[in-house]
Structure 1
């Protein structure tokens, strides 16, 4: 984090779109494996796999460290501030303010990811003053492409991002959403 980038607050709770995005807590650790230990999440995301109690503890610790460093905020997606249904992330990166998400398999089909992305984007525009947020997605990940479209993002004319994660090569497209005027 540069000296001109404001730190993230110690606690964040965002609401909108029928959701409450809140900080992960110790009481969420037991629920995290049911959300993240799934083949889809293992394949499409950098989230640890298998995802067990040890991975849950590491994820919570990492979320807290990234917040303290001013790099990212990682919030639990809930409908009422209670049980987590997935997570939403906002990361300050050289390529832009990136959003990300993962929704537990039992909670899909409710537009949770699209709604959480819109809430995070509104926070980025309103509170952080950014002009654009991005999503980095694989073109073959049809559910994530659908989230991008449903959230108002458009494919940007920028170079593809190539890499490898968990021994699998990937190619990411960058989707953008500009601050409303």
Structure 2
């Protein structure tokens, strides 16, 4: 990012909506494979697969680098500041301020992703001064469509994003959520 883009704070902890979104730490490394080494995550996200201890270390290091650069903020989703249940991301991108998430398979169905996305949207509105955040997702990913809908996002009238990830073609819709 340019020198005009400030880095994110050294430490972030957001406590709202029954969640504590916090920085990833060294103590989370052992829990990360159980969260991210899953066929759904391998299929629908750019997260590396298989996701093992080495991938966890690489992800933690990359999260710290992206934060320092002011490019992205990756936080662990927890309910009490303890064990991570997933991850929520805020990324500054040319398309806009993008959010993303992944919830471990054992923790799905609790509304964690929708709540985490709403919390990160509020953070972006308040601390980054943006007027809109976006999600980019595949229409066939019913779980992500449900999260977007539940969190108050709507499909934007913008061109579809076509590409290939992990040898698989994809077509992404862009969903938006505006500052109220």
TM over 0.5: yes
Unpaired stretches in structure 2, ≥5 consecutive residues: none
Query: CA shift at 1:128, angstroms?
Result: 1.0
Match in the other structure for 1:142: 142
Give me the TM-score of the superposition, normalised by structure 2. 0.99
Under a length normalisation based on structure 1, what TM-score does the superposition of the two structures give?
Answer: 0.98
Q: Which residue of 2 aligns with 1:51?
A: 51
Q: Which residue of 2 aligns with 1:163?
A: 163
How far apart, in 1, do the equivalents of 2:65 and 2:164 lie? 24
RMSD: 0.6
Q: Which runs of 4+ in 1 moved over 3 A?
A: none
Shift of 1:102: 0.1
What are structure 1's unaligned runs of at least 5 residues? Answer: none
**Counterpart in the other structure of 1:17:** 17
State the partner residue of 2:34. Answer: 34
Q: What residue number does 2:80 align with? A: 80
Distance 1:62 1:75 in 2: 12
Q: Deviations over 1:75-126 (max 9, x none)?
A: 0000010000000000000000000000000000000000000000000001
Deviation, structure 1 residue 7: 1.7
In the alignment of these two chains, the number of paired residues is 180
Partner of 1:100: 100
Deviation per residue, 1:118-154 (Å, 9 max, x gap): 0000000011110000000000000000000000000
Alignment partners' CA distance in 2, 1:141 and 1:14 = 27
Deviation string for 1:51-95 (max 9, x for gaps)? 000000010011001001000000000001000000000000000
Residue-by-residue CA offset, 1:142-181 (whole Å, 9 max, x unaligned): 000000000000000000000101100000000000101x
